[in-house]
Amino acid sequence: MELGPPGGSGPAEPGPRLRGLRGADAAASASSLSRFGAEAGCRASAVAAVLPAGGSGERMGVPTPKQFCPILERPLISYTLQALERVSWIKDIIVAVTRENMETMKGIIQRYQHKRISLVEAGVTRHRSIFNGLKALAEDQPNCRLSKPEVVIIHDAVRPFVEEDVLLKVVTAAQEHGCSDYDLEFGTECLHLALKYSHIKAKLVEGSPDLWKVTYKRDLYAAESIIKERISQKVCVVMDTKEDEEHVGHCLEEMLKTELNHVKVTSGQDLQQIILEQCYNFVCVNVMTSDFEETQRLLNMVEESNLSILYPVVVISVHFLDYESVPLGQKMEKVMQIREFAKEAKKRNILLSGLLIYFPQEEQKLRESLRQGTTIISALIKERNSGLIGQLLVA
C-alpha cells in the first residue's frame, strides 16, 4: 500500500504525506495496528521503513542522482530521513542505495547525525531496491541489529515532505485491511504487486498534495521554496541594553511584525528557549554602537546549540547610526569586521550579514529608514542567499 499524490505533480501546502500506488507505500503484514496510535511508543519494534534511493534520476537531467541534489546545501534525502526520524514509533529506517553511492550516503548520515538508519544495496529497479530492503528486515540473521517488524512503510527517498499523521493512517489501514499472513520475504513491493500475486486485501489510502515526488528540476526549486518558507516562520529580535533609552529597536520589531504578518516575531529574552524551539532567524539590534559584542554572544549560542546542522541560520547584525552628522571613521572600520565574522560563521552554516540603519533626529526620516531596514531584513530571511553574507547593507 502506498500513499500520496501522483508523482511529478506540483506541491500545494508544505508538509508531508504518503499515498497509494506512489509516495509512501506501506507493505504490511500485521496484528493489531490500532495499537499504533496510543501505544506507538511502547510498540516501537513493530514498524520499520524502507526508502528506495537507488535511482539515477534521469528525468532530472543532472549528473547527480536527485536524492543527493542539494537543497540549501543539504542533500534532498537528508530531509526525507529527517521527516521519518521525527516519528518515534518507526524503529528502523532501511535505505537502499547503489554500491557506488554507499560512501556518499554514509557521509550524509554522519554529517547530519541521522539515527536508526541501515543501508542495503539497491537493485536495478525500484521494486528490486525495495525487495532488498525488505529482505534485510525479514532475515533474522544472528548479529543483525534489525528485528522483524510487523509493518513496513515504503517511502520514496525523494518525497521529503511526509508527516506522522498520514504514516499512522497508512499503518493502521494496513492492519485493518489485511496482509496478516503475508510473508515479508516474498512480500509486496508495491500495491499492484500485492494485488496481483498475493491473496491479500489491500487498501488505498488517500494522501495529501504535499506528498509529491521530486522528479524534474522544477521540483527541486519548489522543494527549496517550501523549506525556506517553513524555516522563516519565526524571527527573534535580540536588543542591546542601550535600547531601553532609544526605543528604536522596538519600533523596528513592530515594523517587522507588520511586514512579516504571518511570522512569529519574538524578543530574545530567553535565547536558549528560543533556540530550543527551533527559531532559525535572528536580528541582533545594536543601538548607537558599531561593535559586535552582542552579535558575537548570539553567534556563540547558536553555534553551541547545533541549531545550524540541519538548516542555515540567518543572523542580521543591525547597527543604528546617525552617519550623516557623525563622521563614521573608526566606527566604520569596526563595522567592516563583519566580513571576518561572517566568514567564520559560514563554516558553521550561519549566514551573517550586517545592516546599518540611518538614525536621524527627525521622526519622519527615522521611520523611513526603519521601513527600508525592515524590507532588507525580510528579504535576507526569506531568500537565505549565502552570497550576501559578510555584506554591510545600508538603510
Ligand X SMILES: Nc1ccn([C@@H]2O[C@H](COP(=O)(O)OP(=O)(O)OP(=O)(O)O)[C@@H](O)[C@H]2O)c(=O)n1
Which is closer to ligand A1H0Z, CB of 153 or CB of 248?
153
Contact between 96 and ligand X per CB under 6 A: yes
With H, G, I as helix, E, B as strand and everything else as coil, classify residue 93: strand
In the bound state, the residue with its beta carbon closest to ligand X is 55
Please say whether the beta carbons of 129 and 326 come within 8 A. no
Residue 190, contacted partner among ligand X, ligand A1H0Z, none, CB below 5-8 A by kind: ligand A1H0Z
Nearest approach, Cβ of 216 to ligand X (angstroms)? 8
Residue 157, contacted partner among ligand A1H0Z, ligand X, none, CB below 5-8 A by kind: ligand X
Please say whether the beta carbons of 26 and 202 come within 8 A. no
Among positions 56, 272, 300, 306, the unique one binding ligand X when judged by CB under 6 A: 56
Binders of ligand X: how many residues, by CB under 6 A? 23
Query: Where do we find the cell 510487523?
Result: 150
Contacts of 286 (CB under 8 A, 6+ apart): 240, 242, 292, 294, 295, 317, 318, 319, 320
Nearest approach, Cβ of 7 to ligand A1H0Z (angstroms)? 3
Options 59-67, 273-281, 327-335, 342-350: segment touching ligand X (CB under 6 A):
59-67
Query: Where do we find the cell 525523494?
Result: 158
- Count H helices and E strands in the chain, helices first: 14, 14
Contact between 53 and ligand X per CB under 6 A: yes
Q: Could you give the maximum distance between any two Cα atoms of the chain, in Å?
A: 84
Contact between 83 and ligand X per CB under 6 A: no
Q: Tell me the three-class secondary structure of 35-56, residue by residue.
A: HHHHHCCCCHHHEEEEEECCCC
Options 124-132, 203-211, 260-268, 328-336: segment touching ligand X (CB under 6 A):
124-132
Residue 57, contacted partner among ligand A1H0Z, ligand X, none, CB below 5-8 A by kind: ligand X
**All cell numbers assigned to 16:** 508531508
Residue 149, contacted partner among ligand X, ligand A1H0Z, none, CB below 5-8 A by kind: none
Nearest CA-CA partner of 150 in 137, 169, 135 = 137
Contact between 15 and ligand X per CB under 6 A: no
Nearest approach, Cβ of 127 to ligand X (angstroms)? 8
**All cell numbers assigned to 231:** 524555516
Among positions 23, 54, 187, 207, the unique one binding ligand X when judged by CB under 6 A: 54
Nearest CA-CA partner of 24 in 174, 221, 176 = 174
Nearest approach, Cβ of 29 to ligand X (angstroms)? 22
Residues lying near ligand A1H0Z in the complex (CB under 6 A): 2, 7-8, 21-23, 25, 126, 156, 190, 213, 215
Nearest CA-CA partner of 161 in 214, 125, 236 = 214
Which is closer to ligand X, CB of 65 or CB of 75?
65
Which is closer to ligand X, CB of 55 or CB of 354?
55
Residue 269, contacted partner among ligand X, ligand A1H0Z, none, CB below 5-8 A by kind: none
Residue 223, contacted partner among ligand X, ligand A1H0Z, none, CB below 5-8 A by kind: none
DSSP string of 326-371, one letter each residue: S--HHHHHHHTTHHHHHHHHHHTTEEEEEEEEE--SSHHHHHHHHH
Options 52-60, 102-110, 284-292, 372-380: segment touching ligand X (CB under 6 A):
52-60
Instruction: State which amino acid sits at residue 27.
Output: A
Options 46-54, 113-121, 273-281, 339-347: segment touching ligand X (CB under 6 A):
46-54
Residues 154-213 binding ligand X (CB under 6 A) are 156-158, 213
Q: For 33, which DSSP code?
A: T
Please say whether the beta carbons of 87 and 164 come within 8 A. yes
Please say whether the beta carbons of 3 and 17 come within 8 A. yes
Which is closer to ligand X, CB of 8 or CB of 360?
8
- In the complex, which residues of this chain contact ligand X (CB under 6 A)? 7, 52-59, 65, 67, 96, 122-126, 129, 156-158, 213, 215
